[in-house]
Amino acid sequence: MYKDLEGNTAIVTGASSGIGRAIALRFGQEKMNVIINYLGNEQEVQQMVSEIESYGGKAVGVYGDVTSEEDVSKLVAAAHDHFGSLDVMVNNAGIENEVPSENLSLKDWRKVLDVNLTGTFLGCREAIDYMIEHQIKGRVINISSVHETIPWPHFLHYAASKGGVKMITETLALEFAPKGIRVNNLGPGAIDTPINAAKFSDPEAKKGVESLIPLGYIGRPEEIAAAAAWLASSESSYVTGITLFADGGMTKYPSFQGGHG
């Protein structure tokens, strides 16, 4: 636990499932105030609010689509109205779908870019604008992916969006370092969340993914949340503009393991 996070206010987008949910709950354990942005199940969010309160944190669920300027600005307003601050912005909402690139429709391309890239841009812009106005040395954490660097056939739009998120992070880190605002990417490897449910329900496919991970197992959302808490905390005070890969070593050429190659 990071003592300095207690009482800080965070927004987590797409927080009603998977990695976003784990980050929101971890922030609750840190006794933070959390705006739980969701697009789906409100009941699930109410349970999360209760869980966060049981840890000594505070939380409010706010419905909103990260591709809408108005909705994203409402998230920041909700942080201000409920908790009087915004210290940590986590742009987590993301989608993917598998399509061979020669068949990738413009509609699918736009949808994935809209959520993953434009949503991240809007979240960064609104949060940083607020932090500057209120002179907060805030932290922005963008949930990228190993696919900001590993090419991913059949997921062209997804890989392009995450490559874009990397440059959003690096550019903003440079632009706002003089204000003391830190902007970092968190790049998960293969994590057991609903986005992968179909893939991992097939034991052969799951084994195939595991073979790409030097540590040998699919990560848990809580392991990504732990990295997010560190990036949010002052323990990472000298870190900005990086991608922290939490990927079991996936980005380190696992096929060379054991001296192959």
Sign of CA dihedral 162, 168, 171, 175: negative
31 vs 139, which CB is nearer to ligand NAI? 139
Least Cβ distance, residue 214 to ligand NAI (angstroms): 16
14 vs 57, which CB is nearer to ligand NAI? 14
Q: How far is the CA of 33 from the CAs of 7, 29, 41, 185, in angstroms?
A: 6, 10, 20, 22
Contact indicator for 66, 91 with CB cutoff of 8 Å: yes
Least Cβ distance, residue 233 to ligand NAI (angstroms): 20
The one catalytic residue among 38, 55, 158, 253: 158
Least Cβ distance, residue 8 to ligand NAI (angstroms): 21
The backbone torsions φ and ψ at residue 176, rounded to the nearest 5 degrees and listed phi first, read -110, 5
Least Cβ distance, residue 180 to ligand NAI (angstroms): 26
Least Cβ distance, residue 82 to ligand NAI (angstroms): 19
Is residue 158 among the annotated active site residues? yes
Q: What is the arrangement of strands in the sheet containing 58-63, beginning at the earlier edge strand?
A: 58-63, 33-38, 9-12, 88-91, 139-143, 182-188, 243-246
Chain contacts with ligand NAI (rule: CB under 6 A): 13-14, 16-20, 37, 39-40, 65-67, 92-95, 115, 119, 143, 145, 188, 190-191, 193-196
39 vs 239, which CB is nearer to ligand NAI? 39
Q: How far is the CA of 119 from the CAs of 51, 125, 143, 234, 241, in angstroms?
A: 27, 10, 11, 26, 19
Q: How far apart are CA 41 and CA 230, in angstroms?
A: 28
Q: How far apart are CA 189 and CA 247, in angstroms?
A: 4
Catalytic positions are 158
